Amino acid sequence: MRSRVIQPAKLANCLPLVPLIDETRTRSRLAVTTAAQPATTHPTTDAGAGVPAVRLEGLVKHFGNDAAGRRVAGATGAPVSDVIVAVAGIDLDIRDGEFFSMLGPSGSGKTTTLRMIAGFELPTAGRILLHGEDVTNRPPFDRDVNTVFQDYALFPHMTVGDNVAYGLVVRKVPKAERQARVADALRMVRLEGYERRRPGQLSGGQRQRVALARALVNRPRVLLLDEPLGALDLKLREEMQIELKSIQQAVRITFIYVTHDQQEALTMSDRLAVFNRGRIEQVGTPADVYERPATRFVAGFVGTSNLLAGETARAIIGSDRTYTVRPEKIRLTDPDAAPGPDEASATGTIREVVYLGPDTRYIVALDAGGELVVTQQNLATSSMEALSAKGRAVRLTWKRQHNLPVGDG
Ligand SMILES: Nc1ncnc2c1ncn2[C@@H]1O[C@H](COP(=O)(O)OP(=O)(O)OP(=O)(O)O)[C@@H](O)[C@H]1O
Ligand SMILES: [Mg+2]
């Protein structure tokens, strides 16, 4: 049995703009990172209704090293032992107009998958369809997608207005239309009046908005966002989460959002996919994934795992399967309090207390073996009272319906 607390710590994971340009130079010029197809409308229903915005079929990506030590695709003859399997076979449909998140730990293949959808990486195997069309071998500029990178990749010497207009200039959109669209995009991200500033004169959150405006101005049908809020502090990140979601609802563009922050994915997504080691372990709504985790991994990554397995599960639940119980579903009572007929229950000792302000987290060593994490709202409990509970004998009680069976994935 194992418990796990997820920290929303961020790891820098996006390649900066310049390497992206180098990589794609043979296929296109600078424009590839910002240009999209000409303006399109986004009806909620059309002849293609029901066709997914993005379909991934058997997608695989290997990386390897060639003789010169350069990073190259594994298909180029690198010894098999050198091959890194970044994406190990993904099948996925993302619906038109959906806010879809790819959630998973560092190295699980999220960015690689996103870069294949954008066209910055070619798959080793499998197909990518955008709105029903096979784009697997098309260069980035020939796909109706835009990408917002974690480091924003703004041009520091250009004004905000010029940064946002860049993709339109490259596509030779007439000046009057360009100005109107830039103004529109800046209004959307609440940056009217900032046209003449340079990125260095903006806050982190404002730079993030410029990066978003620069992608939205191209009116892509699909917007790819790789940890776009990773560089912001917690407070601003939470504000931007709400804002991004409302912008997405206003423009109805399909957003594909990469994050390793489970809270972020649960807050923002219509649906999410949980990645682990280059595969998807579960796809569903936030409630599906949180309340009915398909595997041990999902139970632990999206929340605190609180697994009951083996002897412990047999003693407490009377079953040999593996279960998870969410910490907020468990009540702490006196050891001699009697559980109700529809309740599961276990006795133990409070091993650790973590005071979190609104809540307190108790780590309880169970008499039947293993540990459970319990969170309780501090309704009438002071921090002193909470902290003094350490070492106390307790009974844990929860409704049997909150025993969630999980697979072994
Ligand atoms: N160009 C490359 N060459 C070799 N290996 C790579 C390359 N890009 C990614 N990888 C490897 O592929 C795996 C998946 O990487 P990827 O960047 O997709 O992970 P991620 O889920 O985005 O992680 P993070 O949350 O840290 O950004 C990792 O093991 C990574 O080291
Ligand atoms: Mg990444």
Reported as a single tens digit per residue, the pLDDT across 181-193 is 999 999 988 899 9
> With contact defined as beta carbons under 8 Å apart, do 114 and 256 qualify?
yes
Does the beta carbon of 106 sit less than 6 angstroms from any atom of ligand 1?
yes
Helix, strand or coil for residue 325?
Answer: coil
Looking at the domain 304-405, which fold is it? OB fold (Dihydrolipoamide Acetyltransferase, E2P) (2.40.50)
Place of tokens 């969410």: 326
Q: How far is the CA of 310 from the centre of ligand 1 (A)?
A: 35
Q: How far is the CA of 109 from the centre of ligand 1 (A)?
A: 6
Look at domain 17-293 and name its CATH class.
alpha beta
Q: Whose CA is nearest to atom 19 of ligand 1?
A: 107
Backbone torsions φ then ψ of 71, nearest 5 degrees: -80, 120
**C-alpha–C-alpha distance, residues 61 and 75, integer Å:** 9
Does the beta carbon of 12 sit less than 6 angstroms from any atom of ligand 1?
no
pLDDT in tens, 344-388: 999 999 999 999 989 999 999 999 999 999 999 988 878 888 888
Helix, strand or coil for residue 219?
Answer: coil
**C-alpha–C-alpha distance, residues 198 and 187, integer Å:** 17
Exposed / middle / buried, residue 198 (Cβ in 10 Å: 0-12, 13-18, 19+): middle
pLDDT exceeds cutoff 60 at 34: no
Helix, strand or coil for residue 384?
Answer: helix
What atom of ligand 1 comes closest to residue 63's alpha carbon?
A: 4
Does the beta carbon of 76 sit less than 6 angstroms from any atom of ligand 1?
no
Q: How far is the CA of 115 from the centre of ligand 2 (A)?
A: 10
Q: Whose CA is nearest to atom 24 of ligand 1?
A: 106
Task: Indicate the residue type of 279.
Answer: R
User: Once rounded to an integer, what is the mean pLDDT over residues 299-303?
Assistant: 87
Does the beta carbon of 109 sit less than 6 angstroms from any atom of ligand 1?
yes
Helix, strand or coil for residue 409?
Answer: coil
User: Once rounded to an integer, what is the mean pLDDT over residues 145-156?
Assistant: 86
Q: How far is the CA of 21 from the centre of ligand 2 (A)?
A: 18
pLDDT in tens, 206-245: 898 899 999 999 889 999 999 988 878 888 888 889 888 9
Q: Which ligand ends up closest to the CA of 261?
A: 1
| Bigger pLDDT: 259 vs 12 | 259
Q: How far is the CA of 279 from the centre of ligand 2 (A)?
A: 14
pLDDT band at 155; cut points 50, 70, 90: very high
pLDDT band at 18; cut points 50, 70, 90: very low
Q: Ligand 1, from 7, 13, 14: best to mutate by most atoms within 8 Å of Cβ?
A: 13
Residue 44: CB atoms within 10 A of its CB come to 8
- Close Cβ partners of 137 (under 8 Å, ≥ 6 residues apart): 122
Task: Indicate the residue type of 250.
Answer: A
Q: How far is the CA of 108 from the centre of ligand 1 (A)?
A: 7
**C-alpha–C-alpha distance, residues 28 and 325, integer Å:** 52
Q: How far is the CA of 86 from the centre of ligand 1 (A)?
A: 6
pLDDT computed for residue 382 by the predictor = 81
Q: Whose CA is nearest to atom 31 of ligand 1?
A: 107
Q: Which ligand ends up closest to the CA of 260?
A: 1
Strand pairing partners for 255?
A: 99, 223
Backbone torsions φ then ψ of 24, nearest 5 degrees: -100, 5
Cβ contacts of 139-142, under 8 Å, gap ≥ 24:
139/24, 139/27, 139/28, 139/32, 140/24, 140/27, 140/28, 140/32, 140/33, 141/28, 141/31, 141/32, 141/35, 141/36
Sheet arrangement for strand 393-399: 331-333, 393-399, 343-355, 359-366, 371-377
Give one DSSP letter per residue of 60-80, joined into a string: EEEEEE-TTS-EEEGGGT--G
pLDDT computed for residue 137 by the predictor = 94
Q: Do domains 17-293 and 304-405 have the same CATH topology?
A: no
Q: Which ligand ends up closest to the CA of 63?
A: 1
Domain boundaries, the chain: 17-293, 304-405
Helix, strand or coil for residue 341?
Answer: coil
Q: Helix/strand/coil (H, E, C) string of 89-146? A: EEEEEECCCCEEEEECCCCCCHHHHHHHHHCCCCCCEEEEEECCEECCCCCHHHCCEE
